[in-house]
Every structure is written in C-alpha cells, then in structure tokens.
Amino acid sequence: MATKEYAGKTVETTDDGYLINASDWNEEIAKEIAKEEGIEELNDRHMTVINFMREVFEKTGEGPSIRKLTKESGVPTKELYELFPKGPAKKAARIAGIPKPKGCI
Amino acid sequence: MKKLVILGAGTAGTMMLNKLHETLDRNEWQLTIVDQFETHYYQPGFLFIPFGIYNKKDVVKPKRDFFPKGAEVIVSEIDKIEPDQNRVLLKNNTVLNYDLLIIATGAKVKPEETEGMVSDLWHKNIFDFYTIEGATALANFFKYWEGGKLVLNITEMPIKCPVAPLEFVFLADSYFTERGIRDKVDIHFVTTLPGAFTKPKASSILGDILTKKNIHLTSDFNIARVDNENKKIVSWDEMEVPFDVLVTIPTNMGDDVIARSGMGDELQFVPTDKHTLRADNYDNIFVIGDATNLPSSKAGSVAHFEADILLENILSAIDGRELKAKFDGHANCYIESGFGKGILIDFNYDTEPLPGKFPLPGIGPFSLLEETKMNHYGKVMFRWMYWNLLLKGSELPIESHMSMAGKRA
C-alpha cells in the first residue's frame, strides 16, 4: 500500500499503482495516471474504453477481460492495443481507477 | 416423481451421476444424464500421445462402462436449455422437464477464434494436443521430424489444465534428447501470461526449470493471427515469432448450447457462485467442472473436489435448506517434467502453490514444487485411479478442502 498525489488529491494505491478506492477517481486523475503509462493525451476512444471498464466494475466488482471489452465496448482488439500499448486490460484498468485484473488460474 | 437432469457425461457429469445414484431415493427422484457422444476420453492422457508414451487406446473407454445400472441415459445433442420453463430441449426432439438441473457441459478448444489458425498449415505444421485428432496428428509429425523451431503458444486464458502447456515443453525436451536431436530443436514457450505460470511463487520456480532445460520463454504475447505463408505468429502489437512447428493452446470456451440458451458470459461459461456452485441467476440450476466461470483451474481434480461439495449442496437444496458446503477452489496437479520425473502443486482460491511436502495417507508424502520420481509415479498411478475410482464416484484418500499441512509459506 502506498499514497500518491494526483491532480492535487492524495489517494491510496496498491504497490503497483492501482487506486484502492475506485471512488477516488476522476478524469483529472486519469489524465495523470495515463501520463505515467506513457499516454500523453486521453482522447474520446480512450475514454470510451475507460468509461466501459468503470461501468463493468460498478456492476460486477471486477474489470472486464479483453474479450468482453472488444465484444461489448465497440472498440476492436487491434485498436485497444493501439490505444493502450502492451496489455490494454492492465493499463486501462489502472487509468480507469479500478483494480488490476486478476488473470485466471 | 421428481426429476434431476445432468447435462454432459464427461468427468464431472459422470461423477455426479454416480454419487447421486447412490444417495437419492430412487422412488422419489428420477435421474437422467444426456450426452451426444458415446466415448469417454481420459483427457489428461492426451499430453502423452504426441511423444508416443500413450496411444489412442490408452485414453478411450465407452461412457456406458461408468454409468450406474438403472440410470436413464440419453444419447443426443442438446439443443437448448429453457431455464424459465425448467426444461431442456434435445436435438432428437425430446423435451426434458426438470426440478433440478446440473450443467456439466465442459469446455472446448476453439482454434477458429484466431485468424489464420485453421488454414493451410492446420494439422500439417500447426497442431493442438487438447483433442484426440490433434494429439495423434502431432505424434505422427514428431515421429519423422528432424528438428527446427518448435513453438508452443497459449492464446488466451482460462484454459483447461493450465499446467499442460508447461508439461508439453518439458516432455518435448526429454523426448528430443532421447531421440538424440535435442541440439537441433529450438523450444520456445510463448504465453499470454506475464510469466511461466499464473501464480508468483510457482511462476518463478517453473520459470527457473524452463531456463535449466534451455527452453526460451516469451511472456505477455497476445496472438492476433497466424501468418501461414511465412510460418510465424503475430501479436496484436505486431511482435512476431517464427516457427517450423506450432503447437497451439487455442481459446477455450464453454459449449455452444450455453450460448444458444443465453446463459453464458463472453466465453460461454455459466456465471456460478464460486463457493456453493449454484448458477448465479437460477435457484434450481447447479454447474460443475469446466462449464463454470469460477476463478479456479479447469481440471479433473477441481471437478472431483467440487463434486463432494455439490452433492452436499444438492441434498440441502432438495430439503429446502441453506447451501452450507463451500468450495474453496482446491486444485491438485501433477506436472510431468520429463526424464521420469514430476512436480506436484496443490492450491486454492486464497493460497498460491507453495513448496513443501504433500502428505497422502498410505502413499505419500509427495514433494511440492520440486522435481522427483515419486511425483511422476503419482501421475502414472492417477490414470488407474481415474478409470477405477474417480469416475465411479468412489472416495479417494484426498480431502476436498485444501490443507496447509506440510506447506512452507
């Protein structure tokens, strides 16, 4: 557990930088986390993915898999990898302020 | 007469049929099981076929050998479950009404989910070993192969028996060494996971074993397509791995009947309570084995531990009681590591595989996360136990819930 300051707000995060409380999240915080992930600017398509992830998390308590993302968010897999290079599920979850996807056993 | 219907007569469905047949009052309950196939495959044995250790006849028996006398068995494809009507429609036009339903329709490999997989090179230079057809085709290929780039690729999680891909490359190392051509075979393990395995301790120990055996590891590789012309796999972010022979672990999905019935998630697995094994949305439907969306391994040992829990909860449901038995995610897997040795892992939802000893009354102890001959014998012995005890629902000397005894945290 760690604390970090994003957009003038102090928030609790896990050791690998995921927000502990999804309710701490706002778009300003998302922009700063995105920069840490090497994404300089969040465009509409980024936000489509991020909002979809938050929606799924609020409903089910878990972030969606890539397959669910592409099937239901309207953003194709190829584009997901362009928007969030190297592991869209993990990266987009962090920017969306939801827990790191558990991955399966 | 009340009706309990089991869909699927694989490992989980057959075990449940036997347990319920023993337990339920036959004057009150009629038990019916449905499956479209008449052959039971010992799926853990598929791994050994490409290396000529087992052949087809070692892994097949008629399903009817494992059904109790008097159980109603219907051989037909299932068309659709209508959970709101409490009935199942079969392709042979039968309509089965039920009071309780157990879904045990398993998981299947879907190579066609990846672009270019089932194309020019399919079963020529590209094989799976999760089907009898793939495993035997690969055995024929390996027999005459003189070496080159052998690439194993895990497409997407979850998969059945998540340790099988590791076992495959360990056995390949052993097999090509014994054939005297190991120096001509470049073995490459390419996975969507961040390491050799899913859980940190096991991943690091198994990763070291890969290195020791001179098997290359590429992690975080998410395959987008197969380039048949240039014999390479390409990831969504345009990384490329060339191959001479590709062994794919395709996307695993639940049965199509689950999708036809509108009961599945994006991989056609049925949303299921991870402790009670009751379907999330239906009080009189239970789900067992690979058909569930549980965050546990898809493995026979898991189905076996689930069966004890499910039996108890079905009896509670029949009596209108609360479901008290809780599945803990327990899995117990022997990992063949080649040269007559094996590794054992034992874990559940909350405890990752740990090193130490695994006590087993009368037979053990086995060593955990360590290569030993004893663990290999455990795996060999298991096939006998599977056919003779496990499918018939008999007690095995191993607890449903995981125990910490012998483990080093």
Predicted ipTM of the assembly: 0.84
* A101 domain residue, yes or no: no
* pLDDT tens-digit map of A58-92: 998 888 888 888 889 889 999 999 999 877 888 99
Q: How far apart are CA B364 and CA B200, in angstroms?
A: 26
Find all residues with CB under 8 Å of A5, minimum gap 6, and list them: A11
Residues of A in contact with B156 (CB under 8 A): 67
* A100 domain residue, yes or no: no
* Number of separate domains in chain A: 1
* pLDDT tens-digit map of B10-67: 999 999 999 999 999 999 999 999 999 999 999 999 999 999 999 999 999 999 999 9
**Contact yes or no for B236 and A81 at CB 8 A:** yes
Residues B291-328 as b/e (b if ≥16 CB within 10 A, e otherwise) read bbbbebbbbbbbbbbbbbbbbbbbeebbeeeebebebb
Q: Tell me, what's the pLDDT at B392? A: 92
**Contact yes or no for B295 and A80 at CB 8 A:** no
* A21 domain residue, yes or no: yes
Residues of A in contact with B297 (CB under 8 A): 105
**Contact yes or no for A103 and B193 at CB 8 A:** yes
Provide the residue range defining the domain that includes A89. 2-95
| Domains, chain B, with CATH or none | 2-106+255-318 (3.50.50.60), 111-252 (3.50.50.60), 331-390 (no CATH)
**Contact yes or no for B158 and A68 at CB 8 A:** no
Q: Summarize the confidence of residues B165-192 as an average pLDDT.
A: 97
pLDDT-derived band at B247, boundaries 50, 70, 90: very high
Closest residue in B to A65 (Cα–Cα): B266
Q: How far apart are CA B169 and CA B245, in angstroms?
A: 13
Q: Summarize the confidence of residues B156-184 as an average pLDDT.
A: 97
A2-6 and B87-90 strand pairing:
unpaired
φ/ψ (deg, to 5) at A68: -70, -40
Q: Which B positions 148-177 lie with beta carbon below 8 A of chain A?
A: 156-158, 162
pLDDT-derived band at A103, boundaries 50, 70, 90: low
Q: How far apart are CA B67 and CA B4, in angstroms?
A: 15
Q: Assign residue B106 a region: left if phi > 0, alpha if psi is -120 to 50, beta otherwise?
A: left
**Contact yes or no for B162 and A105 at CB 8 A:** yes
The DSSP secondary structure of B72-130, one letter per residue, reads EEEE--EEEEETTTTEEEETTS-EEE-SEEEE---EEE-GGGSBTSSSTTBTTTEE-SS
- Residue of A1, A8, A86, A104 marked catalytic: A104
* A66 domain residue, yes or no: yes
**Distance of residue B12 Cα from the nearest chain A Cα, in angstroms:** 19
A75 belongs to the catalytic site: no
pLDDT greater at residue B338 or residue B362: B338
Closest residue in A to B299 (Cα–Cα): A105
Q: How far apart are CA A10 and CA B351, in angstroms?
A: 32
